[in-house]
Amino acid sequence: MPNKPEHISSNFDAALYGLRNDVLMMSGLTDRMFQMAFEALLARNTELCDHVLAEDDEIDTLEKQVDQDGVSLLIRFHPVASDMRQVISAMKVSTSLERVGDLSVTIARRAKRLNGRPLVPEVALLEPAYQIAVAIFRDAVRAFAESDSELARTLKLRDKELDVLTTDLAEKLVAQATAEPEFVSSYLDLIFVARALERVGDHATNIAEDAFWRDEAADIRHLHEAGRATGH
């Protein structure tokens, strides 16, 4: 922080370090929740579903703590330029992580509903979408943790691929529900899971965009759309 006494700068750095660590801890918990939720879906494991639901409170608590600490940093130190972006990006990433946690809860709840009914084999169709979603999520967190702007830049296009896949999945599941109306409730649950996977990709992309903005002071949210419009 320019033009600040050394003790103020060191206090800010220590507080920022704590804020960053809380976000990284939150990312690890969110990753675990997401993984457990989908595993519970495939394995028809109701106990694992309940474990995901129980962990959501911890994610919510961490998100509130990051938000409070971030606001406190902004009020106490009045950071500017890159210091300000460090704080704001941490707060925004925390919000995205909390939403991925909420989507994991959605998957776990749908899995619990499915467990009370006969197995529909189409559940296996969701696994490729999950693998893409979790890879995008983990790379977004890595871009944030390691300040990897090039990695962050790639995730928008990968998310578009996930969008195409989940849309195709939803169409197949709707067709299957029409063909087998006795299983319509189960197919609807799977459609909601597919939409949750799509949304995980969206929030992961937001994390990558916030990391890029923090490190490069540039907005890449509409980079690919602008490129198509100009022919580049």
pLDDT (tens digit, 9 = 90+) per residue, 79-134?
999 999 999 999 999 999 999 999 999 999 999 999 999 999 999 999 999 999 99
Q: Using 50, 70 and 90 to split pLDDT, how confident is the model at 229?
A: very low
Give the structural domain span for 96: 6-230
Closest CA to 73 of 24, 120, 13, 30: 13
pLDDT at site 224? 53
pLDDT digits (tens, 9 = 90+) for 23-64: 999 999 999 999 999 999 999 999 999 999 999 999 999 999
Over residues 163-192, mean pLDDT:
98
Has residue 132 been placed in a domain? yes
Has residue 1 been placed in a domain? no
The span from the CA of 35 to the CA of 134, in Å, is 8
Over residues 183-195, mean pLDDT:
98
Has residue 135 been placed in a domain? yes
- How many independent structural domains does the chain possess? 1
Has residue 52 been placed in a domain? yes
Measured in degrees and rounded to the nearest 5, phi and psi for residue 5 equal -55, 150
Q: Comparing 6-10, 95-99, 194-198, which segment has the lowest mean pLDDT?
A: 6-10
pLDDT at site 223? 62
Three-class SS of 182-224: HHHHHHHHHHHHHHHHHHHHHHHHHHHHHHHHHHHCCCCCCHH
Q: Over 50: is that where the pLDDT of 194 sits?
A: yes
- Burial label for 229, CB within 10 Å (0-12, 13-18, 19+), is exposed
pLDDT at site 28? 98
34 contacts 105 by C-beta, under 8 angstroms: no
CATH number at residue 191: 1.20.58.220
Q: Using 50, 70 and 90 to split pLDDT, how confident is the model at 221?
A: confident
pLDDT at site 4? 56
The angle that helices 81-115 and 184-216 make with each other, rounded to 10 degrees, is 170
pLDDT digits (tens, 9 = 90+) for 127-157: 999 999 999 999 999 999 999 999 999 999 9
